[in-house]
Structure 1
Amino acid sequence: MRPPVEVCVFLLSLLAPGVLYTLNNVPALQEPLPILGIGMVVLGSLLLLLLFIVRHKTTLDPLFYVFAEFSFTCLVGLTNALEQDGFISNFMGFYLKKGEPHLSTAYAVMMSYWEGVVHFVLFLTMIRRMFTRKSYRSLGLLWAGSSIAHQLVHVPGVVIGKYGSSLRPAFWRNVPFFLVPFWAAFLLFSRPRETPIVTADKIASEQKKSLLSRPVDLLLSLLLLGAAAFSAFRGFVVLDCPLDTCFTYIYQYEPYLKDPVGFPRVMMLAYLFYALPLLAVMLCGLNTPGCSWMLDWTLFFAGAMAQAQWCHIGASLHSRTPFTYRVPADKWWPVIGLNVLLAAAPALLALRCHARPAYFMKPVPKGEANHKKKKN
């Protein structure tokens, strides 16, 4: 009897710390080009093992290979985070010296924790649902948003930050990890959405309600407006806005925004140019009946903001961030509170859309809805 595929992927992923430990103790392999080459060989060997595991499957979702390969790298990231925080040792020293030294920063440590726990659990869950013929589209959109947000900050942050002048060959392994999530997101968005059967009467009743008669939506609208204002403000701050308010905020409230590693600056610009327009569009969708795209994009956006804010909040408090760039102790509650709300607003919006989707669904003729209900 074959073990479940997700168990096989889990066991293969557990090889990552062993591979790192071995490489860390073989000096001949600890040069920039060999590190890149060995990384490619390891991922290629993993792909061959995966092909062997699923050889009996006649048809297979191409995203399986993405999830399985990324599961392995998740454990690489978790190993890095645990070593940087002093829980383990003698695994990542060679890679930080000759591969990607930026992985020792506070932002990269928090990013590695997110990958090693949240993404890893999502991958195993999606693989299980894939092989039990259950839909994993919603979980996939959460992961796609999270992964794209990670890459949009990680790669440009390395290039423009203080580590940009010392890029090693191993850095270029990030290119496929940057591109693949966009391809995966395209596949997931193009697949049919699973929506509950709701009668035409129910849809019409929900869509006739004004914003004042929908107190939850009114509160969410205010949260989205606040998140948009906060995103715009911090974008202006990192662009060196000369207003006294911006100067006071970056020096007295959130000095992490001027950390020379580059990640916080790129993140605030991503909020200004990507998150801000999405917040505005979703605010319109929350107040316009029949915007069925909200059911997908709120999940994608919630995943992106959760990942980004986890890394940002954690890095601004982490001991690997120089003391002068950490959030001051007397400003801890307002700064962290605002950042938590920025992450919570998209998550609450996604929860609202999926808990009561009738407002966002296209009107269905009553007879057709009843027919579908009886059929199911």
Structure 2
Amino acid sequence: MTKLITIGVVILSLTSWPLLFALSQLSCMKNERNVFIAATSCILAAFVGTFLLFRRYYRNIDPVMYVFSIFCFDAVSGLGNVLEVDGYFQLQSTNWTQIDPYLKTAHGTVSLYWNGIVHFLLCLLAIYLYTQRYSHREVSLYWAGSLLNNMIVLLPVYLIGSNAIRTSTFGNIIHLLLAIGVLFYYFHNSPSQARTFLKFSPIWKRPVDFFFIIFFLLATILAVFRGLAILGASPKCMTDYLKLYEPYLTDPSNFPKFQALTYQYIYVIYYLFAIYGLLHPGQHWMADWSMIHAGAAAQAQFSYIAGSLHYRTAANLHPPLSGTIAPYFWGINIAFLVIPQLFALWCRLDDEHFGRSYTVELSTPITSRPLRPEKKSQ
């Protein structure tokens, strides 16, 4: 019974492709406003379908499950659009690059692939865990961090770019607000944290924590350095860095620029708080925020690395693939991608130092059989 929910969400999501094909055959779909209205109507229909599906098998449904169901539908439809723009198939008559110029950029293309594959799988996994009465909080926070980074980079480029603000911009604002709403929902429903009376060893006796402190210090320095360089700082070391090491930061689409600024003005704040949490163990917010940061860093680095290698990026802006400079580029960006994932895992495994993260209220199936006991993090 419980697996029917997940299967139903997948089927509803896959209906987005035939719907897109049918709608694109209509002459009125050449108009941007009509496209937005049609897309909104399809999403509302998907919401009604998932609402009825959940109500059939569960009571007191977690409202976040409806959000994930809608995002599954949105992710699959976006994946269909980007696959068509990249020329993998031709099903629709609508030129989506005219409706949304974002699709013409390397960053936009790889971000839609991330949304259509990774976000879809994360939302589907959260739904599956919910129906199985497992904690889905960690997956949900990871998804929210990933989506937040995507929207924080995307929306400023929309607002300052040469293209006029389009109706799709309002859709992305809704994406941002929903991600923030999910975070507030989970913060409001945080698990109880037992006060610890353990005496922790000094930092030099905790080598793993010391390693992460060194990483966050270096990441802070590099984020500020890259941010100043992209803002036009005059020191030769910064201009040389942009020219030789990371030329993609100067891409005219401005997406890499705003990603670097996001690191400088937002990620650095987290780095400093994480250093404090490592120096003074027992900060119970660390587990949740490490998952949010891991999701954001994964989306940021995938979009940045894949975008820099994409065929839509000018050849002179591609990263170095050989020579003495290449190890620096790849070492820096792989570290920004991998180490946040390791840190989230480290926080997850040590709730005495970093707090517990699990879903407080699990699903309530409509069944006469005894419920499976709640599964919480140990």
Q: Distance in 2 between matches of 1:230 and 1:193?
A: 35
Partner residue in 1 for 2:327: 333
Residue deviations 1:183-207 (CA, integer Å, cap 9, x gap): 1110012223377x99x6xx62xx4
Identify the match of residue 303 of structure 2 among 307, 311, 316: 311
Shift of 1:254: 1.2
Distance 1:67 1:2, change over 3 A: closer
1:247 counterpart = 2:239: yes
Match status 1:80 vs 2:101: no
AA in 1 matched with 2:329: V
Q: Which moved more, 1:24-33 or 1:62-71?
A: 24-33
Rounded to whole Å, the distance in 1 between the matches of 2:326 and 2:4 is: 46
1:182 matched to 2:185? The reply is no
1:61 match: 62
| Pairwise CA distance, 1:287 | 1.1
Of 293, 300, 306, 1:301 maps to 293
Greater fraction of residues in helix? 1
**Partner Cα distance (2:200, 2:134) in 1:** 34
Q: Which contiguous aligned blocks of 4+ residues in structure 1 show a shift greater than 4 angstroms?
A: none
Where does residue 90 of structure 1 map in the other structure? 91
1:216-365 alignment, distance < 5 Å: 216-330=208-322, 331-361=325-355
SS at match of 2:62: coil
Q: Tell me, what secondary structure is at the counterpart of 1:166?
A: coil
Q: Work out the CA distance in 1 between the residues paired with 2:219 and 2:181.
A: 28
* Larger deviation, residues 324-333 vs 287-296: 324-333
Structure 2 counterpart of 1:215, which letter? P
Q: Which runs of 5+ in 1 are unaligned?
A: 363-375
Rounded to whole Å, the distance in 2 between the matches of 1:332 and 1:91 is 41
The answer for the alignment partner of 1:116 in structure 2 is 116
Q: Is the CA contact (8 Å cut-off) linking 1:30 and 1:95 kept in structure 2?
A: no
Task: Letter of the 2:303 partner, please give it.
Answer: C
Letter in 2 for 1:17: W
CA contact (8 A) 1:17 1:91 kept: no
Instruction: Report the Cα distance in structure 2 between the residues aligned to 1:354 and 1:55, rounded to whole angstroms.
Output: 32
RMSD: 2.2
Q: Is the 8 A contact 1:160 1:262 kept in 2?
A: no
Distance in 2 between residues matched to 1:176 and 1:110, nearest whole Å: 21
* Gaps in structure 2 of 5+ consecutive residues: 357-377
Distance 1:2 1:215 in 2: 43
275-284 or 350-359, which moves further after superposition? 350-359
Deviation at 1:361, TM superposition (A): 4.9
Paired residues in the alignment total: 354
TM-score w.r.t. structure 1 length?
0.88
Deviation of the 1:209 alpha carbon: 1.0
Identity of aligned residues (%): 29
Contact 1:74-1:115 within 8 A present in 2 as well: yes
- Higher mean Cα deviation, 53-62 or 171-180? 53-62
Task: Quote the residue 2:138 is aligned against.
Answer: 138
Contact 2:146 2:296 in 1 (8 A): yes
Are 1:168 and 2:166 an aligned pair?
yes
Query: CA offset at residue 81 of structure 1?
Result: 3.3
269-278 or 76-85: bigger deviation? 76-85
| C-alpha contact 1:83 1:92 (8 A) present in aligned 2 | no
| Matched residue, 1:8 | 8
